[in-house]
Amino acid sequence: MVSRKKSKAMKKDSQLIIRINGEERDAFVVLCEEMDTSAAREVRRFIRQFVKENAQSQ
């Protein structure tokens, strides 16, 4: 079970709006569905990994 402190720290309270090609978006969403995940989850995972990898180099 996730502790309440962690739940509050991980609260999704912001949005990031991006513009991408519609065909790329559709292909990404379909692939995510086929892999039983969501586009939002995968974008969040990418952002966390990107920050982790690049924060270490500074």
**Residues 7-49: tens digit of each pLDDT:** 666 788 999 999 999 999 999 999 999 999 999 999 999 999 9
The confidence score (pLDDT) of residue 56 equals: 79
Q: Residue 28 in contact with residue 39, Cβ under 8 Å?
A: yes
The confidence score (pLDDT) of residue 49 equals: 95
**Better pLDDT: 7 or 52:** 52
